[in-house]
Chain A
Amino acid sequence: MTDLAWIDASLIAARPRAIGALVRYFRDLDTAEEAFQNASLKALEAWPKHGPPRDPAAWLIFVGRNVALDAARRAQKQTELPATLVADEDPDAVAAQLDHQRENADYRDDVLRLLFICCHPELPPSQQLALALRIISGLTVKQIARAFLVGEAAMEQRITRAKARIAGADVPYEAPTAAERATRIGVVAATIYLVFNEGYSTSSEQAARAELCDEAIRLSRLLLRMFQDEPELMGLSALLMLQHARTPARFDEAGEIILLEDQDRTRWDAHLIAEGLALLDKAMRHRRPGPYQIQAAIAALHARAIHQEDTDWAQIDLLYASLERLDPSPVVTLNRAVAVAKVRGAAEALAMIAPLERQLAGYFHFHGLRGALLLELGKKSEARTAFDRAIALARSPAEAAHIRLHLDRLQQKR
Chain B
Amino acid sequence: MLYAIFCYDAEAVTCSWSKERDAEVMASLAAVQRPLVEQRRLGPVARLMPTTTAVTIRKGKEAMVMDGPFAETKEQLLGFYVVDVATLDDAVEIAQDLAKASGSGGAYELRPIMTYRSNTTLAATA
Contacts and interface: CB of A to CB of B under 8 A. Distances in A.
Contact of A278 (B10, B13, B53): B53
B83 interface: no
B67 interface: yes
B67 A278 contact: no
Contacts of B88: 278, 281-282, 285
Interface string A198-221: 000000000000000010001001
A293 interface: no
26 contacts: A1-B21, A1-B25, A5-B21, A9-B17, A10-B13, A12-B16, A13-B15, A13-B16, A221-B50, A221-B52, A222-B12, A225-B12, A228-B52, A228-B68, A229-B67, A229-B68, A234-B52, A274-B49, A274-B112, A278-B53, A278-B88, A279-B52, A279-B53, A281-B89, A282-B67, A285-B92
A88 interface: no
Contacts of B112: 274-275, 278
A208 to B, nearest CB: 14
Q: What range describes how many residues of A lie at the interface?
A: 20 to 34
B16 A225 contact: no
Given A5-B21, A228-B67, A229-B67, A282 B13 contact: no
Contacts of A225: 11-12, 51-52
The 9 residue pairs across chains A and B that have the minimum distance between CB atoms:
A228-B68, A13-B12, A229-B67, A278-B112, A281-B88, A228-B67, A13-B13, A278-B53, A224-B52
B120 to A, nearest CB: 24
Nearest to A12: B16
Interface residues of B, number: 27
B49 A275 contact: yes
A9 B53 contact: no
B15 A221 contact: yes
B14 to A, nearest CB: 8
Given A228-B52, A278-B88, 20 more contacts: A5-B21, A9-B16, A9-B17, A10-B13, A12-B16, A13-B10, A13-B12, A13-B13, A218-B15, A225-B11, A228-B67, A228-B68, A229-B66, A234-B52, A275-B53, A278-B112, A282-B53, A282-B55, A282-B88, A285-B55
A125 to B, nearest CB: 25
Interface in A273-306: 274-275, 278-279, 281-282, 285
Interface string A136-158: 00000000000000000000000
Contacts of A279: 52-53
Interface of A: 1, 5, 9-10, 12-14, 56, 214, 218, 221-222, 224-225, 228-229, 234, 237, 271, 274-275, 278-279, 281-282, 285
B87 interface: yes
A275 B50 contact: yes
A1 B67 CA distance: 33
B114 A275 contact: yes
Nearest to B110: A282
B10 to A, nearest CB: 6
A278 B55 CA distance: 11
B52 A237 contact: yes
A278 B21 contact: no
> At the interface, is chain A mostly helix, strand, loop or mixed?
helix
Contacts, number: 65
A281 B55 CA distance: 11
Between B66, B67, B68, the greatest number of chain A beta carbons within 10 A of the residue's beta carbon is seen for B67
Nearest to B112: A278
Contacts of B52: 221, 224-225, 228, 234, 237, 279
Interface in B45-99: 49-53, 55, 65-68, 87-89, 92
Contacts of B51: 225
A65 to B, nearest CB: 21
A89 B115 CA distance: 41
Contacts of B66: 229
Interface string B7-50: 00011110111100100010000000000000000000000011
A8 to B, nearest CB: 9
Contacts of A237: 52
Between B10, B51, B53, B55, the greatest number of chain A beta carbons within 10 A of the residue's beta carbon is seen for B53
Contacts of A281: 87-89
Nearest to B114: A271
A10 B16 CA distance: 9
Contacts of B11: 225
Contacts of B53: 275, 278-279, 282
A278 B114 CA distance: 10
Contacts of A221: 15, 50, 52
A56 B16 CA distance: 15
A221 B17 CA distance: 14
A275 B15 CA distance: 13
B125 to A, nearest CB: 29
Contacts of B49: 274-275, 278
Contacts of B50: 221, 275
